[in-house]
Amino acid sequence: MTVKAMKSGAVEFLTKPFRDQDLLDAIHQALDRDRIVRQQQSEISELRKHYESLTAREREVMSLVVSGMLNKQIAFELGTSEITVKIHRGHVMRKMQAESLAELVRMAAKLDLPPAKKK
């Protein structure tokens, strides 16, 4: 019964008789877990809103940037100039509210974006 309860999402399995403090501790643990899950869901929802604000080209550029490609490689891949890539990259950073490339990579991972498709 304990295993079934835990697999179904139980935080704790209390057997009778149990102390009041054990019940309170289990409730606090469940509330803490729920708060963390809600915070993560809210963060992902906010990231999705930012990502949806990107144009199709900016999404392409973002995908290639987070895959580790340099601006000149992205320009070659997309058949555009390096300056254009830099502009799109700047738009991506601004719209995603990323302060660094590492942060943008973490955002892409949280969004579970598919890897860049190279032509």
pLDDT at 87: 97
3-state secondary structure of 29: helix
Under the banding of pLDDT at 50, 70 and 90, the label for residue 119 is low
Buried b (16+ CB within 10 A) or exposed e, 57-71: ebebbbbbbbbebeb
pLDDT, tens only, 5-58: 788 888 888 888 989 999 999 999 999 999 999 999 999 999 999 999 999 999
What average pLDDT does the chain have?
92
Please tell me the distance from the alpha carbon of residue 9 to that of residue 101, in angstroms, as a whole number: 36
State both tokens at 68. Answer: 């580790």
